[in-house]
Structure 1
Amino acid sequence: MANSPPAPPSVQFIDIRADQAGQRIDNFLITLEKGVPKSRIYRALRKGEVRVNKGRIKQTYRLQAGDQVRVPPLRVSEKVVITELSDSLTDALESAILMEDDDILVINKPAGLAVHAGSQIQLGVIEAMRIIRPENRFVELVHRLDRDTSGCLVLAKSRTALLNLQQQMKDSETDKRYLTLTRGKWPAQENIVDLALQKNSLSSGERMVVPDINGKKSKTLFEVKQEFSGCQLVAAKLYTGRTHQIRVHSASQSHPVAGDEKYGDREFNKRLRQFGLKRMFLHAWQLSLKHPITDEPLTFNAELPDTLKDVLKQLEKQ
């Protein structure tokens, strides 16, 4: 991977394209300046540092095609920007593509790769795909997967597609199914967990999700697929899409996900490492949705990675 040296902060002038029109200025800036605290962005809007067509605007202003946006330097210190990928990562992502057309791109995301860059992460899937597909002026994440989760991930290649797909997910019109290995034996073949979830921050600063009646409604179906000594392979269907939903719901029933360092069981994880498990056993294996432009029903299947297949083979020998 090649890195470009950090450029000195400078004012940007951005001409709004037709596919960018309709966005609120605050959401546009949050997407443009990933990693910049939202408080800094809203302060720049309030103080008039951000201008549209040389005039002050409110944070609720919706951009129009042809608008020129003045964006002041918002970053305290510029991060190193990765502009080129290694051949191995490029090949891995190209071979992970399950489907691509002018509107959407679906990949089987490798475990260990974040979906986007952050304060401690220089490169994610979205940044990598923008490098691999420089001809595409618009590439955005439709949804997220945890860094250690592999499987179906959808990217939009137009704003129209992005808004349509996000609305489908908001309205529960998509079908997301995961494969996971959990501790113990579930009470039935099919098990519904209907527990509201709330995001919390610990005194250490770590963010956790916990069951809370005052949280957001969350519902998961766990269906047992295969039984092993002390654990089961389970298919999890999401009726809602909350952060860490499968991990927290399964742990709340005393069936934590294998390899989960945040919500899991230390002894269970230690035992599974003896069978070759080196990551969290959570894989987004199937995703069904409607094409955002043609309305055609689509179903994508992401094969279980060989590393997880090998763990199951070792468990079968017990």
Structure 2
Amino acid sequence: LKGVPRTRVYRIVRKGEVRVNKKRIRADYRLELNDVVRIPPVRVAQQEAPVRPNDSVIAQLEKSVLYEDDLLLVINKPSGLAVHGGSGLAYGVIEALRQLRPKNRTLELVHRLDRDTSGCLVIAKRRSMLRHLHNQLQQKEKVEKLYHALVVGKWPVRKQLVNAPLLKNVLQSGERMVRVHVDGKKSRTAFRVLDRFPNMTLVEAYPITGRTHQIRVHCLHGGHPIAGDEKYGMDGDNQTQKQFGLNRLFLHAASIEFDTLDGQRLKVEAPLPDDLAEVLSALQGLDAGSKD
């Protein structure tokens, strides 16, 4: 099914449209000798010439490389750039990188970051590395991701874990919204206070599970939405934070750690972007007596 979006392929398997021996099968079913496989007819859209990213995006990505070897690439993804195209976007990080690195024909996203989130993003150059890292992500504790988030209010030191199931909804507009709900998927995030400012707290977040918008919704559920969050935050808070130069979501993937194919442990760190560092500097300049 070359040319068919991968999400479409996943969907036809998930919906049971692929049959083996006239029966529905799970995606993890292993084919056996003499199995009869039925694949539904799928229309392959004619591919248009890829849109070339503008020069500013190219310059950003060229400067964003944190680590690279023959098997993988780790970049410090800029905020405002989606990880892939679609939903009205002509291109994202992965499409831009494929054009910048035409010799690397198998570049694939290992995981995702929200469009407004900056920080560590891992791209595999080989299928073997992609499978290796996906296996570690499924085991959860094998891959450690740490995020830095500036949240509204005074985050209690004792609140070290938010354990709340998350349910994902898709609105008619196509926008994804996530909320805490008893019917949602099990979700856990560990938190640690890093610094305090007047009515703001810088926290470190460690997502134990990996759900859509998990850190953002868990911060909201804990009573402290992330600063600059236009989807889950309060408009009044967001307007106030603009006075300190914050014009986007203050959520940054600060580091990621995993095992390489040769069994070595690799940790890559992404420095805080200048715009977020300037926000912290502005907050530090406020009345020190307001800090705890």
TM-score range with shorter-chain normalisation? 0.7 to 0.9
Match of 1:262 in 2: 231
Alignment of 1:1-318 (within 5 A): 29=1, 32-34=3-5, 37=8, 73-75=43-45, 81-82=50-51, 84-172=52-140, 173-188=142-157, 191-202=160-171, 205-291=174-260, 293-318=261-286
Name the counterpart of 2:36: none
Confirm or deny: 8 A CA contact 1:35 1:118 kept in the other structure: no
TM-score w.r.t. the length of structure 1 is: 0.77
| Whole-angstrom CA distance in 1 between matches of 2:126 and 2:240 | 45
Tell me the amino acid that sits aligned with residue 232 of structure 2.
Y
Shift of 1:204: 5.0
Aligned pairs, number:
268
Alpha-carbon separation, structure 1, partners of 2:262 and 2:57: 32
Q: What is the alpha-carbon distance in structure 2 between the residues aligned to residue 73 and residue 36 of structure 1?
A: 14
When residues 131 and 285 of structure 1 are mapped into structure 2, their CA distance, relative to the original with a 3 A threshold, is same
Distance 1:286 1:237 in 2: 10
Superposition deviation, residue 176 in structure 1: 0.4
- Distance between the aligned counterparts of 2:189 and 2:273, measured in 1? 23
Contact 1:190 1:222 in 2 (8 A): yes
Structure 2 segments unaligned to the other structure (5+ residues): 19-24, 32-40, 287-292
**C-alpha displacement at 1:104, in angstroms?**
0.7
Displacement of 1:294 in angstroms is 1.1
Partner of 1:5: none
CA RMSD of superposed structures (Å)? 2.8
Give the C-alpha shift of residue 306 in structure 1: 0.3
Supply the distance in 1 between the matched residues of 2:170 and 2:11 (Cα, whole angstroms). Answer: 21
**Structure 1 residues 36, 304: CA separation in 2 closer, same or farther (over 3 Å shift)?**
closer
Instruction: Return the alpha-carbon distance in structure 1 between the equivalents of residues 10 and 196 of structure 2.
Output: 49
Structure 1 contact 139–157 (Cα < 8 Å) conserved = yes
CA distance in 1, matches of 2:85, 2:152: 32
Query: 3-state DSSP class of the match of 2:244?
Result: coil
User: Residues 98 and 40 (structure 1 numbering): CA distance in 2 closer, same or farther, change over 3 Å?
Assistant: closer
Instruction: Indicate conservation of the 8 Å contact 1:179/1:234, yes or no.
Output: yes
Q: CA deviation at 1:238?
A: 1.2
Mark the runs of 5 or more structure 1 residues left unpaired by the alignment: 1-28, 48-57, 63-70
Provide the identity percentage: 46
Shift of 1:72: 7.0
AA aligned opposite 1:219:
R
When normalised by structure 2's length, the TM-score is 0.83
Residue 73 of structure 1, CA deviation = 5.0
